[in-house]
Amino acid sequence: MKLEKVTLSYIDEEDRIRLSAQTPEGDVAVLWLTQRLGNRLIPVLRDWLLKQVQDTAHADVYHQFEQQAAQQASASETAVVASPHSHAWLINRVDVSYSPTQMTLIFKGKEEAESAQMTLVNTAMRQWFDILYRVYQRAQWQSADWPLWMHQLSNEPSLKVVH
């Protein structure tokens, strides 16, 4: 299943992140991400973003600027809404493949049919990384692997919907 759009929400009762995911055909599935697996995913996403910058002297400033631009570009998105009848599964593993220009995340569940992939280019990856960071903050989950420039941006006021 290819995913076109994904909305992330922390669900307190589950103590998990819900990914409400929409396919290009308009179907919606619900995937559940645990903190344990999220903590393993963060360094992979961060390291790919870090490789996008060649100027190491000003890398943090560049990343902060690019992250702000990605945040602003995502302000007008609408959330994916899952129904009670949407197929749902717990993500057991995330396979990652990447090139210099894009990253593909393949979310795998327990069953063979429980597989969904999302391909992101630089700006979309930064948006997703920002959203994941904000959901982590709402969940009060800790991870030492967030880059410093993400912490600096989180201190700025934001009125955007997180999805």
Least confident range of 6-20, 35-49, 136-150: 136-150
Confidence of residue 101 (pLDDT cuts 50, 70, 90): confident
| pLDDT at residue 110 in the model | 94
Q: Kindly state the tokens that stand for 6.
A: 């994904």
Q: Which residues pair with 20 in a beta bridge?
A: 7, 30
Q: Which residue has the tokens 């390291």?
A: 47
What is the rounded distance in angstroms from the CA atom of residue 16 to the CA atom of residue 34?
A: 5
pLDDT reported for residue 156: 46
C-alpha R_g of the chain: 15
Element (H, E) at 29: strand 28-33
Neighbours of 29 (CB within 10 A): 22
pTM of the entire predicted model: 0.81
